[in-house]
């Protein structure tokens, strides 16, 4: 989607895609995803998710990347923090404690600017992007993750003839294409037939959580 689409969603308060709790898959698979920490964790397209604070409270160094300045302000309002703010490359950076938030375009993130990460928590980030941007996104994330690092991937799949995204349908096969040569383990899959997506015309909506490992 065009970046203006997401900026408008925040400006209009249309942020129903955000939960009011830490994502259940992050909690459920903490031991698998975050063993051996503390880690340096990237959360791309983070919105104002509570997952950022949850990770930081557990001792990890957390970096969120988010396009909307309104979402960034919401992160710090929830945290009750007055962060230090400065420019970092093409990003507006805000920092407090173990949490750093970069406001700007995720495609401007490079290892030279941000350094390497041990873990990436993709909380339905890839499904927010159209097919062309998904290719660029996976390449960007892959470069930022160190060899041997892990991605915990939350994704959705459905019959896109019944509904156009976002969120877009991203199948397990597509993930394997984006992360070719990586290890892949399906940790959880659930098919929903009721709820918000059913109201948009879907017969079924598959939610999955996959652990992806970059070759060492």
The answer to whether 128 and 168 have CB atoms below 8 angstroms apart is yes
pLDDT tens string 79-137 = 998 999 999 999 999 999 999 999 999 999 999 999 999 999 999 999 999 999 999 99
User: What is residue 11's predicted lDDT score, i.e. its pLDDT?
Assistant: 56
CA proximity to 186, closest of 177, 178, 176, 199:
176
| Number of structural domains the chain divides into | 1
| Residue 202 within a domain | yes
pLDDT of residue 56: 98
Looking at mean pLDDT, say which of 17-21, 194-198, 201-205 comes out highest: 201-205
Enclosing H/E stretch for 64: strand 61-66
Q: Any idea which residue has 């949850």 for tokens?
A: 54
Domain with residue 114: its CATH number is 3.40.50.150
In a domain, 19, yes or no: no
The residue that leads in pLDDT, 161 or 119, is: 119
Question: Is 166 part of a structural domain of the chain?
Answer: yes
| Structural domain of 173 | 3-14+24-213
In a domain, 8, yes or no: yes
pLDDT score of 201: 78
User: Under a CB-based contact definition with an 8 Å cutoff, are residues 9 and 189 in contact?
Assistant: no
* Per-residue tokens: 202: 């879907």
State the number of CA atoms in the 13 A half-sphere of 67 facing the CB: 18
Q: Is residue 87 part of a domain?
A: yes
Q: Judging by DSSP bridges, how do beta strands 145-157 and 183-192 pair with one another? A: unpaired
Q: What is the pLDDT of residue 95?
A: 98
Quote the CA–CA distance of 138 and 178 in Å, as a whole number.
6
Query: Per the domain annotation, does 113 fall within a domain?
Result: yes
In a domain, 46, yes or no: yes
**Within-domain flag for 195:** yes
């Amino acid at each position: 989607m065009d970046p203006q689409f997401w900026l408008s969603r925040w400006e209009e308060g249309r942020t129903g895609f955000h939960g009011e709790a830490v994502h259940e898959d992050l909690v459920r698979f903490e031991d698998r995803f975050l063993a051996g920490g503390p880690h340096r964790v990237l959360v791309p397209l983070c919105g104002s998710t509570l997952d950022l604070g949850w990770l930081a409270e557990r001792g990890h160094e957390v970096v969120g990347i988010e396009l909307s300045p309104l979402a960034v302000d919401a992160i710090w309002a929830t945290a009750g923090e007055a962060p230090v703010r400065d420019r970092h490359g093409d990003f507006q950076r805000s920092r407090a404690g173990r949490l750093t938030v970069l406001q700007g375009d995720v495609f401007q993130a490079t290892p030279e600017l941000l350094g390497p990460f041990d873990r990436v928590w993709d909380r339905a980030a890839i499904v927010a992007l159209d097919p062309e941007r998904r290719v660029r996104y996976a390449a960007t994330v892959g470069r930022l993750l160190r060899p041997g690092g892990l991605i915990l991937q939350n994704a959705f799949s459905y019959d896109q003839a019944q509904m156009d995204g976002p969120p877009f349908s991203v199948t397990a096969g597509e993930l394997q294409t984006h992360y070719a040569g990586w290890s892949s383990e399906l940790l959880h899959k659930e098919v929903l037939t009721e709820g918000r997506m059913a109201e948009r015309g879907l017969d079924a909506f598959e939610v999955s959580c996959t652990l992806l490992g970059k070759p060492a």
